[in-house]
Structure 1
Amino acid sequence: MCPYMQFIEGGRRFQCGFCSCVTEVPPHYFQHLDHTGKRVDCYDRPELSLGSYEFLATVDYCKNNKLPQPPAFIFLIDVSYNAVKSGMVNIVCQELKTLLDYLPRENPEMDSVVRVGFVTYNKVLHFYNVKSSLAQPQMLVVSDVSDMFVPLLDGFLVNVNESRLVIESLLDQIPEMFADTRETETVFGPVIQAGLEALKAADCAGKLFVFHTSLPIAEAPGKLKNREDKKLIGTDKEKSLFQPQVGFYNTLAKECVAQGCCVDLFLFPNQYVDVATLGVVPVSTGGSVYKYTYFQAQADKERFLNDLRRDVQKLVGFDAVMRVRTSTGIRATDFFGSFFMSNTTDVELAGLDCDKAITVEFKHDDKLSEETGALMQCAVLYTSCSGQRRLRVHNMAVNCCSQLADLYRNCETDTIINFFSKYAFRGVLSNPTKAVRDTLVNQCAQILACYRKNCASPSSAGQLILPECMKLLPVYLNCVLKSDVLLPGADVSLDDRAYLRQLISCMDVSESHVFFYPRLLPLTKLESGSLPMAVRDSEERLSKGGVYLLETGLHLFLWVGANVQQELLLNIFGTPSFSQIEPSMLLIPDWTEPSCVLPLSHMSLSSCLQLMVVKQEDRTELIFRHFLVEDKSASGGASYVDFLCHMHKEIRQLLS
Structure 2
Amino acid sequence: MVRQDPYSCNRCKAYMCPFMLFIDGGRRFQCGFCNCVNEVPVQYFQHLDHMGRRVDVYERPELSLGSYEFAATLDYCRNNKPPNPPAYIFMIDVSYNNIKSGLVKLICEELKSLLERLPKEEGAESSAIRVGFVTYNKILHFYNVKSALAQPQMMVVSDVADMFVPLLDGFLVSFQESRAVINNLLSQIPDMYADTNESETVFAPVIQAGVEALKAAECSGKLFVFHSSLPTAEAPGKLKNRDDRKLVNTEKEKTLFQSQRGVYEQLTKECVSQGCCVDLFLFPNQYVDLATMGDIPTHTGGSVYKYSNFQVQTDGQHFLSDLRRDVEKSIGFDAIMRVRTNTGFRATDFFGAIYMNTTTDVEMAAVDCDKAVTVEFKHDDTLSEEAGALIQCAVLYTSVSGQRRLRVHNLSLNCSSQLSELYKSCETDALINFFAKSAYHAILSQPVRTVREILVRQTAHMLACYRKNCATPSAASQLILPDAMKVFPVYMNSLMKTPVLVGSTELSTDDRAFHRLSIMSMGVEESQVLLYPQLIPVHSMDVACDSIPAAVRCSEERLSDTGVFLLENGQSMFLWLGQACPPDLIQSLFNVPSMAHLSSDTTTLPELDNAHSRKLQSIICAISQQRCKSMKMVIVKQKDRSEMLFRQLLVEDKGLYGGTSYLEFLCSVHREIRQLLS
User: What is the TM-score when the length of structure 1 is the normalising length?
Assistant: 0.96
Whole-angstrom CA distance in 1 between matches of 2:551 and 2:310: 32
Cα deviation code 1:254-313 (max 9, x no counterpart): 111111111100001111111100111111110000000101010000010000000001
**Equivalent position SS for 1:6:** coil
Whole-angstrom CA distance in 2 between matches of 1:27 and 1:584: 67
Cα deviation code 1:388-438 (max 9, x no counterpart): 100000111111111001111110111111110001011110011000000
Is this contact kept in 2: 1:7–1:15, CA < 8 A? no
Is this contact kept in 2: 1:146–1:221, CA < 8 A? yes
Whole-angstrom CA distance in 1 between matches of 2:82 and 2:215: 15
Task: Please list, as runs of the form range in 1=range in 2, the aligned pairs for 1:374-393 lying within 5 A after superposition.
Answer: 374-393=389-408
Whole-angstrom CA distance in 2 between matches of 1:446 and 1:589: 53
Whole-angstrom CA distance in 1 between matches of 2:609 and 2:490: 33
The 3 A distance-change label for structure 1 pair 434 and 283 is same
**Equivalent position SS for 1:438:** helix
The 3 A distance-change label for structure 1 pair 593 and 166 is farther
Whole-angstrom CA distance in 2 between matches of 1:592 and 1:52: 44
**Equivalent position SS for 2:176:** coil
Question: Does residue 575 in structure 1 map to residue 578 in structure 2?
Answer: no
**Equivalent position SS for 2:669:** helix
Whole-angstrom CA distance in 2 between matches of 1:509 and 1:588: 32
What amino acid is the match of 1:89?
Answer: V
Task: Please list, as runs of the form range in 1=range in 2, the aligned pairs for 1:645-656 lying within 5 A after superposition.
Answer: 645-656=667-678
Whole-angstrom CA distance in 2 between matches of 1:476 and 1:4: 44
Is this contact kept in 1: 2:254–2:443, CA < 8 A? yes
Question: Does residue 5 in structure 1 map to residue 8 in structure 2?
Answer: yes
Is this contact kept in 1: 2:118–2:327, CA < 8 A? yes
**Equivalent position SS for 1:219:** coil
Question: Does residue 596 in structure 1 map to residue 615 in structure 2?
Answer: yes
Whole-angstrom CA distance in 2 between matches of 1:258 and 1:650: 47
**Equivalent position SS for 2:649:** coil
What amino acid is the match of 2:563?
Answer: G
What amino acid is the match of 1:5?
Answer: S
The 3 A distance-change label for structure 1 pair 60 and 589 is farther
Is this contact kept in 1: 2:94–2:104, CA < 8 A? yes
What amino acid is the match of 1:475?
Answer: V
Please point out which of 633, 645, 648 is paired with 1:611: 633
Is this contact kept in 2: 1:8–1:15, CA < 8 A? no
| 1:161 Cα deviation from its structure 2 partner | 1.3
Match of 2:605 in 1: 586
| 1:33 Cα deviation from its structure 2 partner | 3.4
Match of 1:83 in 2: 98
Cα deviation code 1:121-172 (max 9, x no counterpart): 0110000001111111111000000010000000100111111111111111
Is this contact kept in 2: 1:7–1:14, CA < 8 A? no
Cα deviation code 1:365-392 (max 9, x no counterpart): 1111222211111100000001110000
Match of 2:121 in 1: 106
Is this contact kept in 1: 2:70–2:406, CA < 8 A? yes
Question: Does residue 550 in structure 1 map to residue 571 in structure 2?
Answer: no
Question: Does residue 276 in structure 1 map to residue 291 in structure 2?
Answer: yes
The 3 A distance-change label for structure 1 pair 291 and 67 is same
Whole-angstrom CA distance in 2 between matches of 1:580 and 1:301: 25
User: What is the TM-score when the length of structure 2 is the normalising length?
Assistant: 0.93
Whole-angstrom CA distance in 2 between matches of 1:315 and 1:368: 37
Whole-angstrom CA distance in 2 between matches of 1:496 and 1:602: 27
Is this contact kept in 1: 2:272–2:364, CA < 8 A? yes
Is this contact kept in 2: 1:75–1:118, CA < 8 A? yes
Whole-angstrom CA distance in 2 between matches of 1:533 and 1:599: 11
Question: Does residue 462 in structure 1 map to residue 477 in structure 2?
Answer: yes
| 1:590 Cα deviation from its structure 2 partner | 12
Structure 1 runs (4+) greater than 4 angstroms displaced: 7-17, 27-31, 589-594
Whole-angstrom CA distance in 2 between matches of 1:330 and 1:152: 52
Question: Does residue 641 in structure 1 map to residue 637 in structure 2?
Answer: no
Whole-angstrom CA distance in 2 between matches of 1:61 and 1:592: 57
Match of 1:625 in 2: 647
Whole-angstrom CA distance in 2 between matches of 1:67 and 1:303: 39
Question: Does residue 154 in structure 1 map to residue 180 in structure 2?
Answer: no
Task: Please list, as runs of the form range in 1=range in 2, the aligned pairs for 1:499-518 lying within 5 A after superposition.
Answer: 499-518=514-533
| 1:575 Cα deviation from its structure 2 partner | 1.8
Give the length in aligned residue pairs.
652
Match of 1:253 in 2: 268
**Equivalent position SS for 1:231:** helix
Question: Does residue 396 in structure 1 map to residue 411 in structure 2?
Answer: yes
The 3 A distance-change label for structure 1 pair 536 and 145 is same
The 3 A distance-change label for structure 1 pair 262 and 84 is same
Is this contact kept in 2: 1:573–1:585, CA < 8 A? no
Is this contact kept in 2: 1:571–1:587, CA < 8 A? no
Whole-angstrom CA distance in 2 between matches of 1:585 and 1:348: 42
Task: Please list, as runs of the form range in 1=range in 2, the aligned pairs for 1:413-428 lying within 5 A after superposition.
Answer: 413-428=428-443
| 1:633 Cα deviation from its structure 2 partner | 1.1
Cα deviation code 1:571-606 (max 9, x no counterpart): 111123111123256324999999433422432311
Is this contact kept in 1: 2:248–2:504, CA < 8 A? no
The 3 A distance-change label for structure 1 pair 28 and 281 is closer
Whole-angstrom CA distance in 2 between matches of 1:600 and 1:276: 32
Cα deviation code 1:43-86 (max 9, x no counterpart): 01110111111111111110000000011000000011111112
| 1:348 Cα deviation from its structure 2 partner | 0.5
What amino acid is the match of 1:648?
Answer: H
| 1:355 Cα deviation from its structure 2 partner | 0.4
Match of 1:538 in 2: 555
Match of 1:184 in 2: 199
| 1:527 Cα deviation from its structure 2 partner | 2.3
Question: Does residue 559 in structure 1 map to residue 576 in structure 2?
Answer: yes
**Equivalent position SS for 2:571:** coil
**Equivalent position SS for 1:5:** coil
Task: Please identify, of 611-620 and 33-42, the stretch whose mean Cα deviation from structure 2 is larger.
Answer: 33-42
Whole-angstrom CA distance in 1 between matches of 2:68 and 2:277: 25
Whole-angstrom CA distance in 1 between matches of 2:507 and 2:433: 22
The 3 A distance-change label for structure 1 pair 483 and 590 is farther
Whole-angstrom CA distance in 2 between matches of 1:32 and 1:611: 62
Task: Please list, as runs of the form range in 1=range in 2, the aligned pairs for 1:516-535 lying within 5 A after superposition.
Answer: 516-528=531-543, 529-535=546-552
Is this contact kept in 1: 2:588–2:612, CA < 8 A? no
The 3 A distance-change label for structure 1 pair 637 and 253 is same
What amino acid is the match of 2:615?
Answer: C
**Equivalent position SS for 2:411:** strand
Whole-angstrom CA distance in 2 between matches of 1:525 and 1:381: 50
Is this contact kept in 2: 1:517–1:552, CA < 8 A? yes
Whole-angstrom CA distance in 2 between matches of 1:176 and 1:341: 44
Match of 1:314 in 2: 329
The 3 A distance-change label for structure 1 pair 127 and 592 is farther
The 3 A distance-change label for structure 1 pair 23 and 169 is farther
Task: Please identify, of 429-438 and 368-377, the stretch whose mean Cα deviation from structure 2 is larger.
Answer: 368-377
Whole-angstrom CA distance in 1 between matches of 2:605 and 2:7: 55
**Equivalent position SS for 1:111:** coil
The 3 A distance-change label for structure 1 pair 469 and 23 is closer
Unaligned runs of 5+ residues in structure 1 are: none
Task: Please list, as runs of the form range in 1=range in 2, the aligned pairs for 1:206-221 lying within 5 A after superposition.
Answer: 206-221=221-236
The 3 A distance-change label for structure 1 pair 141 and 315 is same
Cα deviation code 1:433-455 (max 9, x no counterpart): 00000010111110000001101
Match of 2:444 in 1: 429
Unaligned runs of 5+ residues in structure 2 are: 13-21
| 1:14 Cα deviation from its structure 2 partner | 9.1
Please point out which of 61, 82, 86 is paired with 1:46: 61
